Structure 1
Amino acid sequence: MQSTTPQRTDVLVVGAGPAGSGAAAWAARLGADVVLADAAVFPRDKTCGDGLTPRAIDELERLGLRDWVRAHTVNQGLRAHGFGQTLHLPWPGGNLPDWGSAIPRTELDDHLRTTAVKAGATAIDGARAVDVRRDGARVAAVVFERGQRGGERFEIACDRLVVADGVRSPLGKMLGREWHRDTVYGVAGRSYVSSTMADDPWISSHLELRGEGGEILSGYGWLFPLGNGAGEMNLGVGTLATAKRPADVAIKPLMTYYADERREEFGLGTELRMPTSALLPMGGAVSHVAGENWALIGDAAACVNPLNGEGIDYGLETGRLLAELLTESRGADLSRVWPALLRAHYGESFSIARRLAGLVTVPRLLPALGPVGMRSDLLMTLALRWMGNLVTDEDRDRAARVWRWAGRRSLARDARPPFA
């Protein structure tokens, strides 16, 4: 962070999570003058599962962070529990890495922000975006505030604005972003807990998530090592909901109950540290994701997988994609090209994923179909690949072709396509 605040910049990035820091790093590497601003003072925590799937690993490797990530924990894949079965499902590899990891967001986000600074971006923290100054249809500058409300105000003028301020996206709302809850969204909680299995090489996912009354809930619980040297695991639960079928569950008590149920098996401690929860817009369920010279990325654009709640990979991807677009098409109207690019990359997979996730919210469907799926290693291996969106544009195998075929047909039937 420099001592004087720049008055203007080529690219202003608001939000220094994986999406914003990734965008800032790539834009700076591609030659732009970049300012990266965030309301928090780093390092700071963020409600998140902390898991890094092979898709996220691929993006971190592109940033040159492979060795740093591998110095943390490395996991082999998913250990799926439920309906009387336990299956070990290795990461499929192919055009993506065949390993995953987990890094607490306090550390991950701070390191990514440092990566952006090393690339040439100017970082400003403790600065909350409170207003914009417009020049016709363009955003000419963003107004920031430091300290308590009513504190020091200043503005930074910009040629292009990248909005990466998370699931609530207050700046996005100022610019007209709207979240549509008619498609599936997530309600999730996360905590940290000591464990005697803190070197476990698998992500444990309990697909038969039950409430205290024994009812099966439309979601899952997870446990996996953090590799932070403290002998801790990330423990969390997530449920799915729609406006028609809202989630009627208290997440933090459910997380405590889930921990109690898993305590003996995983050697868990009694204290759940730093429990947090959040609502997650998913599958591109937002409209107005771009204007003439501004665009939303990552969680702000609802780039969250509807089937597993993963968002770090999409944050890093959309940050890179937008930085490349800003460099290659300097005069482009982002209100036209950015939604089109998002739909080209994610439209099909988000459409079919949120349709399938919506089915999970239908009462009695999961109890009926869950046992069938868990009896088949083949079905669950396919489910892992599809649920994790571990299908790349380069994949040409049968599973990839089926996924894209289903996505095209789902998209054609959407009353509101992703990002529309």
Structure 2
Amino acid sequence: MTTPQRTDVLVVGAGPAGSAAAAWAARLGADVVLADAAVFPRDKTCGDGLTPRAIGELDRLGLTDWVRAHTVNQGLRAHGFGQTLHLPWPGGNLPDWGSAIARTELDDYLRTTAIKAGATGIDGARAVDVRWDGGKVAAVVFARGSRGGERFEIECERLVVADGVRSPLGKVLGREWHRDTVYGVAGRCYVSSTKPDDPWISSHLELRGQDGEVLSGYGWIFPLGTDAGGVNLGVGTLATAKRPADVAIKPLMGFYADERREEFELGDELRMPTSALLPMGGAVSNVAGPNWALIGDAAACVNPLNGEGIDYGLETGRLIAELMVSTGSTTGGADLGVIWPAVLREHYGEAFSIARRLAGLVTVPRLLPALGPVGMRSDLLMTLALRWMGNFVTDEDRDRAARVWRWAGRRSIARDARPPFA
């Protein structure tokens, strides 16, 4: 296929955020190019879990039947401090079920969905620079080949940057990650299991190191269904610049697997172990300019309380596409540098602010061992925690738990030295 020389909307990064943006922009009538540095299918470090919030966005894309053909889970099995609680997904204005699909398959299918919607897909092309026209991005410079010997440009009216947690193109545009608020350090692997159809995803909130100390994080085991024949197993810890994570993730993951092997009927081999740093809770600045915007992981749209990012990637992809089309921004028009940060703060600012404040408390030594047993003794508290931690409070919710969460978010963001996305 001949590489296009120009397009209305150029999307860099074909993960859930970028593919959703490309699919929605193409469905809304824009000329779209979706480019990625990798050749698909490709892997991505992730827990692979799809919460009801993510399921809702996949349903908007018309993918419910495809997702249901994979594993379906009904909620979270929370372990810790001598307790095990089964917490169904809260439902309400969101679906009452979740799933888990390996990112190698999920991302490839979402990219295909965008291409079927009309986007032109380009893979194996790494975005390395931009060409400016005043304060606007006139074109993105791509490199191909193992040594980046072949270079070419694609001109665009609007640029959507969805190139992940490291966001190399975002850095070119001035994106800065602030580590004074909480961030994640996580690793995952795949393990065979004789219980791949477990209807619950499991999270161990009492994550211990090899010396028996309680760590500021959690472990997870997400069944992937009979066809996959195994589970996604991983560990994540929380850190800040003041209290960095002093833990080797991959050895910790191996220790965690050993501790859970008998209970979850796990195999011995940890396949494809990978790890990553996760900017969280909108802890980045310069998320947009006159005709460009960062979305998904690139904009640190990751839940500080559970590390979930797929739902926010899908949501921000849809939101930026709708914004560009509704304001005429696919061919000029509104200044995304003003509008997009305001949209992100409107949708996520309060929730991210209180979530990262609470997650930061978990990094305080001895606080989790003191409070964890109290919370785990109450189904009510843990049910509320599941709803808040998973950000299952929608704009339509008017119940008491939703009102309390919004009230806490407003108070929290008013005290932030640097609010989300600022």
State TM-score, norm by structure 1.
0.99
Q: How many angstroms apart in 2 are the aligned matches of 1:353 and 1:329?
A: 31
Alignment of 1:89-108 (within 5 A): 89-108=87-106
* Structure 2: runs of 5 or more not aligned: none
Give the Å deviation of 1:237. 0.3
2:325 is aligned to 327
**What's the secondary structure of 2:244's corresponding residue?**
coil
1:96–1:390 contact (8 Å) kept in structure 2: yes
2:196–2:226 contact (8 Å) kept in structure 1: no
Tell me how many residue pairs correspond in the alignment.
Answer: 418
1:349 is aligned to 351
1:129 is aligned to 127
2:76–2:203 contact (8 Å) kept in structure 1: yes
2:118 is aligned to 120
2:33 aligned residue (35, 45, 49): 35
How well do the aligned residues superpose, as a CA RMSD in angstroms?
A: 0.5
2:45 equivalent to 1:47: yes
Q: How many angstroms apart in 2 are the aligned matches of 1:334 and 1:230?
A: 41
2:300 equivalent to 1:302: yes
2:129–2:172 contact (8 Å) kept in structure 1: yes
2:273 aligned residue (272, 275, 281): 275
2:393 is aligned to 391
User: After the TM superposition, which of the residue ranges 224-233 and 139-148 deviates more from structure 2?
Assistant: 224-233
Give the Å deviation of 1:150. 3.7
> Aligned AA for 2:173?
L
Deviations 1:236-285 (A, max 9, x none): 00000000000000000000000000001011100000000000000000
Q: How many angstroms apart in 2 are the aligned matches of 1:229 and 1:263?
A: 20
Give the Å deviation of 1:228. 5.5
Alignment of 1:2-41 (within 5 A): 3-41=1-39
Q: How many angstroms apart in 1 are the aligned matches of 2:226 and 2:192?
A: 11
2:373 equivalent to 1:371: yes
1:145–1:154 contact (8 Å) kept in structure 2: yes
Alignment of 1:144-155 (within 5 A): 144-155=142-153
1:127–1:146 contact (8 Å) kept in structure 2: yes
2:197 is aligned to 199
1:362 is aligned to 364
**What's the secondary structure of 1:73's corresponding residue?**
coil
Q: How many angstroms apart in 2 are the aligned matches of 1:326 and 1:256?
A: 45
Deviations 1:49-100 (A, max 9, x none): 0000000000000000000000000000000000000000000000000000
**What's the secondary structure of 1:233's corresponding residue?**
strand
Q: How many angstroms apart in 2 are the aligned matches of 1:203 and 1:412?
A: 35
Give the Å deviation of 1:151. 1.3
Q: How many angstroms apart in 2 are the aligned matches of 1:224 and 1:150?
A: 38
1:38–1:126 contact (8 Å) kept in structure 2: yes
Deviations 1:16-75 (A, max 9, x none): 000000000000000000000000000000000000000000000000000000000000
> Aligned AA for 1:412?
A
Q: How many angstroms apart in 2 are the aligned matches of 1:220 and 1:321?
A: 31
How many percent identity over aligned positions? 89
2:197–2:226 contact (8 Å) kept in structure 1: no
> Aligned AA for 2:397?
D
Deviations 1:344-397 (A, max 9, x none): 000000000000000000000000000000000000000000000000000000
Q: How many angstroms apart in 2 are the aligned matches of 1:301 and 1:22?
A: 15
1:340 is aligned to 342
Alignment of 1:74-89 (within 5 A): 74-89=72-87
> Aligned AA for 1:205?
S
2:261 is aligned to 263
1:293 aligned residue (291, 310, 314): 291
> Aligned AA for 1:203?
I
Alignment of 1:147-166 (within 5 A): 147-166=145-164
> Aligned AA for 1:35?
V
**What's the secondary structure of 1:176's corresponding residue?**
coil
**What's the secondary structure of 1:5's corresponding residue?**
coil
Point out 4+ residue stretches in structure 1 off by more than 6 angstroms: none
> Aligned AA for 2:195?
M
> Aligned AA for 1:208?
E
> Aligned AA for 1:409?
R
1:409 is aligned to 411
**What's the secondary structure of 2:143's corresponding residue?**
strand
1:174 aligned residue (172, 189, 195): 172
> Aligned AA for 1:211?
G
1:69 is aligned to 67
Q: How many angstroms apart in 2 are the aligned matches of 1:230 and 1:295?
A: 36
Q: How many angstroms apart in 2 are the aligned matches of 1:150 and 1:116?
A: 26
> Aligned AA for 1:367?
P
Give the Å deviation of 1:149. 2.4
2:47–2:222 contact (8 Å) kept in structure 1: no
1:103–1:228 contact (8 Å) kept in structure 2: no
**What's the secondary structure of 1:81's corresponding residue?**
strand
2:193–2:230 contact (8 Å) kept in structure 1: yes
**What's the secondary structure of 1:347's corresponding residue?**
helix
1:253 is aligned to 251
Alignment of 1:214-225 (within 5 A): 214-225=212-223
User: After the TM superposition, which of the residue ranges 328-337 and 301-310 deviates more from structure 2?
Assistant: 328-337
Give the Å deviation of 1:230. 3.4
> Aligned AA for 1:375?
R
2:240 equivalent to 1:242: yes
> Aligned AA for 2:9?
V
Give the Å deviation of 1:197. 1.3
